[in-house]
Structure 1
Amino acid sequence: MEPLAVNRHHCSSISVALLAALTVSLSTAQAEEPANPAPSVLEKFTLRYDLNAGETIRYEVTHQAKTKTRIRGAEEISQVHTVSQRHWDVLTATEDGEAVFEHVVDSVEMTQQRGEEEELRWSSESGEEPPMEFSVVAKQLGTKLATVTINSQGNETHREDHAGSKASLGMGSLTLQLPEEPLALGASWSVPHEIRVRLENSEIKVIKIRERYTLEKVQTGVATISLHSEPLTPISDDSVRAQVVQQLSNGEIRFDIDNGRMLSKQLDWDETVVGFQGANSLMEYRARMTERLVDKVQRTATRP
């Protein structure tokens, strides 16, 4: 495999991952104690979505990544930087917590560079034609990527994909699968997922992973949740490991408890894989993804 192959796949995946936006909303049933004191270790919180018909929930997502590969003595560095504005339009919501929303990416600023090639830059608000590498993203801006129905625990009960991809590259799903039981501080829950990787013979292999969430603290109405994911399927092939590490989510999520809205999310990657394409090959992957609420919930007329 040529040195550029890994980087082209990675940069293409980043562009696709832009369309898989990753927002999660939680709410907690609070005890009857006053809101100001810190919660005791015995207090438990019920995590549930709390969406309302007619809401528009907006986020800004920034993703930057640097990948260095060395294969047969040839070294190459690829870098990407993407800032996107996206939102959920909540169409309907029922008293039992079921909600239907549309996911839309409104605008994007993208930068990409591979090795010694000229850096590519494009903003969807510039009025300029996008480079070919960004054309797929450009065509889908402002359109409904998916219409999703979820229950109060965040489980998707129905999904219709219009233009987007389900690829997440470790950035998370559109919704988070929440625990059924109330949690005390320090308690954790796990969510199983699967990652598909391509073997050297072009066959597809499924790698099972586990995402572990821990309720770290609740302070002044904000819940802090840590996230750590790890593969459950044994991985002996370093070429497979190089694909998997880029899709594992590790970081921190902060939520507005009262309104059930994510305030921010940060995921970080710092991985090195030796021998992924031969004994002297090396891949270093450094990346960060941040997501933040950019304005208050906007309310519009409830749709029929």
Structure 2
Amino acid sequence: PTYLLRYKFRPGDVLQWRVTHRANVRTTVADVEEAAETNSISTKVWRIQEVRPDGSCVFEQSVRDVRMSQRLSGRNEVRFDSTSGDPPPVGFEGVAKTVGKPLARITLDTLGRVLHREQLVTEAFQTPGLLTVPLPEKPVAAGESWAFPYEVEVPLRAGTVKRIKVQQKFTLESVKSGLAEIGLKTVVLTPIDDPLVEVQLIQRINEGKVRFDIEAGRIVSQEMNLERSVVGFQGETSRLHYATRFEEEFVPGSFTAARPANTSQPE
């Protein structure tokens, strides 16, 4: 069988996802090793404001709450919890200001393409992972793939910018109980011969699995894991090890829009 994958929206819906992100970066330069570990748990919110006749929607994205911690080599761990009421520690003021406020107004079509984006708060706290998974135009069967090409701009030492061609490849791996499991892999198409470029690029690569509820027309979970090492980005013996884990789970009962009453009679 083939499956038509489409996003579905209703005006007034409030959709929420619980987002967990862990990143661990270890760098060694001139035999000096430094480590940085960051953790965050946040609630991502979409408020659907308008649904157009073609199915596309306008929604406001916000972050309802966030708990963060950061540990750097030789320093005490710093924590911030937006629900505690305590003033944010140094370095977290920017995050604290954006919690609970509309961050962006986005127009999205049923294939998950961003038609328009209006940033309402600059330098807002961004939840990691994909805003949406681009969906295929035609119905797909298990095992079939589709691709989404894009470009990443990476700053170079000379102050210039290198454009890197990247492709995200999606594969419908299976459909069970109405849930489509989609595999995601990022392929870098531009040849990379500069470790400094590679160091910046690995932090923008996604690899993992997405679960999509076909009937409801939304992502119910994302799970991304990545572990990479780069040598020689700042001297021959320099080394960077990057490990990240990202999880997102839909929060049931997010809706506020009135559901149509079930008027069907039992046969």
TM-score when normalising by structure 2: 0.92
Match of 2:2 among 25, 38, 44: 44
- How has the CA–CA distance of structure 1 residues 155 and 223 changed in structure 2, closer, same or farther, with 3 Å as cutoff? same
1:181 maps to which residue?
Answer: 138
1:283 aligns with 2:240: yes
Worse-superposed segment, 66-75 or 130-139: 130-139
1:211 maps to which residue?
Answer: 168
Aligned residue pair count? 259
Q: For residues 90 and 164 of structure 1, what CA distance do their matches in structure 2 show? A: 21
Matches within 5 A, 1:220-231: 220-231=177-188
1:201 aligns with 2:161: no
SS of residue matched to 2:152: strand
| 1:8-53 superposed Cα distances (whole Å, 9 cap, x missing partner) | xxxxxxxxxxxxxxxxxxxxxxxxxxxxxxxxxxx11111110111
Q: For residues 229 and 123 of structure 1, what CA distance do their matches in structure 2 show? A: 33
1:70 maps to which residue?
Answer: 28
Q: Do the aligned residues in 1 keep the contact of 2:156 with 2:162 (CA within 8 Å)? A: yes
Q: Identity of counterpart residues, as a percentage?
A: 36
1:270 maps to which residue?
Answer: 227
Deviation at 1:162, TM superposition (A): 0.3
| 1:112-139 superposed Cα distances (whole Å, 9 cap, x missing partner) | 0111111110100111111221111111
Considering only aligned residues, what root-mean-square deviation do their CA atoms show, in Å?
1.8
1:120 maps to which residue?
Answer: 78
Q: For residues 148 and 176 of structure 1, what CA distance do their matches in structure 2 show? A: 15
Q: Hey, which bits of structure 1, 4+ residues long, moved more than 6 A?
A: 166-170
Deviation at 1:60, TM superposition (A): 0.6
| 1:130-180 superposed Cα distances (whole Å, 9 cap, x missing partner) | 1221111111111111111122212222221101559979722x2332211
Q: For residues 245 and 276 of structure 1, what CA distance do their matches in structure 2 show? A: 13
Q: For residues 297 and 249 of structure 1, what CA distance do their matches in structure 2 show? A: 26
Give the counterpart letter for 2:193 in structure 1.
S
1:160 maps to which residue?
Answer: 118
2:66 maps to which residue?
Answer: 108
Match of 2:208 among 241, 251, 256: 251
| 1:167-198 superposed Cα distances (whole Å, 9 cap, x missing partner) | 979722x2332211111110000001221212
Q: For residues 81 and 144 of structure 1, what CA distance do their matches in structure 2 show? A: 23
SS of residue matched to 1:132: coil
Listed as ranges, the gaps of 5+ residues in structure 1 are: 1-42
Choose between structure 1 and 2: higher strand proportion: 2
Give the counterpart letter for 1:63 in structure 2.
H
| 1:217-252 superposed Cα distances (whole Å, 9 cap, x missing partner) | 001111100000021111100011011011100000
- How has the CA–CA distance of structure 1 residues 169 and 291 changed in structure 2, closer, same or farther, with 3 Å as cutoff? closer
Q: Do the aligned residues in 1 keep the contact of 2:6 with 2:214 (CA within 8 Å)? A: no
Deviation at 1:301, TM superposition (A): 6.3
TM-score when normalising by structure 1: 0.81
- How has the CA–CA distance of structure 1 residues 136 and 166 changed in structure 2, closer, same or farther, with 3 Å as cutoff? closer
Q: Do the aligned residues in 2 keep the contact of 1:170 with 1:247 (CA within 8 Å)? A: no
- How has the CA–CA distance of structure 1 residues 276 and 285 changed in structure 2, closer, same or farther, with 3 Å as cutoff? same
Give the counterpart letter for 1:47 in structure 2.
L
Listed as ranges, the gaps of 5+ residues in structure 2 are: 260-267
SS of residue matched to 1:83: strand
| 1:236-277 superposed Cα distances (whole Å, 9 cap, x missing partner) | 000110110111000000121111121110011110111111
| 1:83-102 superposed Cα distances (whole Å, 9 cap, x missing partner) | 00121000111342111111
Q: For residues 285 and 178 of structure 1, what CA distance do their matches in structure 2 show? A: 29
SS of residue matched to 2:163: strand
- How has the CA–CA distance of structure 1 residues 287 and 198 changed in structure 2, closer, same or farther, with 3 Å as cutoff? same
1:34 maps to which residue?
Answer: none
Give the counterpart letter for 1:244 in structure 2.
L
- How has the CA–CA distance of structure 1 residues 239 and 167 changed in structure 2, closer, same or farther, with 3 Å as cutoff? farther
SS of residue matched to 1:59: strand
Give the counterpart letter for 2:136 in structure 1.
P
